């Protein structure tokens, strides 16, 4: 009987994950920040950390929080019962997202090849899409999870009073960005450092936009609509239903 040929597998990149959990949660309201709201009895951050730990190659997770949230963030991470191979670190959050991301990257181990930057309140990133994004980021420099835009998009007229439609935007070629957004660790850190020193007043709300600004390629990896970001109160029962129906 002929022997089966072994298929050579590509080496797995060493990954650090920066989880941004330092926002003010204005749209959610209430006293509890989004990462610490409960889904089926566990904080959202616990679900998020558990899912990211399933990605092969993840050796480190850096959670970026406000100082006053550090204790409950540690409890949430502990509840995830991560494998011993994953080191957990914490970093101080900044005023803006890019400040928090840079703070997390400064704490990350410099031997890590790939950095995944992820929203704490997005608990269900699909593992296979993340795996593809890591491979693409190693090749191109950056990759993001995203879904093609399906709904009709309208641009509003910017004037006083009730918003009105200016035009319909063709949705062909449009994608809705998600996280994690994945990069060569050294590249995204270097570009953030340049941004902080040369244009400190420029706010960038999307991590991939930093690479775009400097002319770097960012791949689009098709994700899932189930990779929801919990932003408003009505998102919580949606996430609960996804868990109950085992759709994530």
pLDDT at 166: 94
pLDDT at 111: 97
Helices 44-52 and 70-79 pack at an angle, to 10 degrees, of 50
pLDDT at 6: 60
* Under 8 Å between Cβ of 93 and 203: no
* Under 8 Å between Cβ of 179 and 117: yes
pLDDT (tens digit per residue) in 56-91: 999 999 999 999 999 999 999 999 999 999 999 999
pLDDT at 25: 60
Give the domains, in start order, of the chain with CATH numbers.
15-244 (3.90.550.10)
Q: What is the pTM of this model?
A: 0.92
């Amino acid at each position: 009987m002929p022997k089966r040929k072994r298929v050579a597998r590509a080496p797995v990149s060493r990954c650090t994950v920066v989880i941004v959990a330092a926002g003010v949660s204005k749209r959610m309201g209430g006293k509890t920040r989004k990462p610490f709201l409960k889904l089926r009895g566990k904080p959202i951050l616990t679900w998020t950390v558990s899912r990211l730990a399933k990605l092969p190659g993840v050796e480190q997770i850096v959670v970026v929080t406000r100082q006053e949230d550090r204790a409950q963030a540690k409890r949430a991470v502990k509840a995830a019962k991560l494998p011993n191979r994953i080191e957990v670190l914490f970093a101080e959050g900044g005023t803006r997202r890019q400040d928090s991301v840079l703070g997390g990257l400064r704490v990350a181990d410099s031997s890590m090849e790939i950095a995944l930057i992820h929203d704490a309140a997005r608990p269900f990133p699909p593992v296979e899409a993340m795996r593809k994004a890591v491979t693409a980021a190693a090749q191109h420099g950056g990759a993001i999870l995203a879904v093609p835009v399906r709904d009709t998009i309208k641009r509003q007229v910017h004037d006083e009073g009730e918003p009105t439609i200016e035009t319909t935007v063709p949705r062909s070629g449009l994608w809705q960005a998600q996280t994690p957004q994945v990069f060569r660790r050294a590249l995204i850190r270097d570009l953030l450092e340049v941004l902080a020193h040369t244009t400190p007043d420029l706010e960038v709300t999307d991590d991939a936009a930093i690479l775009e600004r400097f002319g770097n390629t960012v791949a689009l990896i098709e994700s899932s609509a189930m990779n929801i970001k919990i932003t408003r109160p009505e998102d919580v029962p949606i996430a609960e239903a996804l868990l109950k129906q085992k759709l994530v």
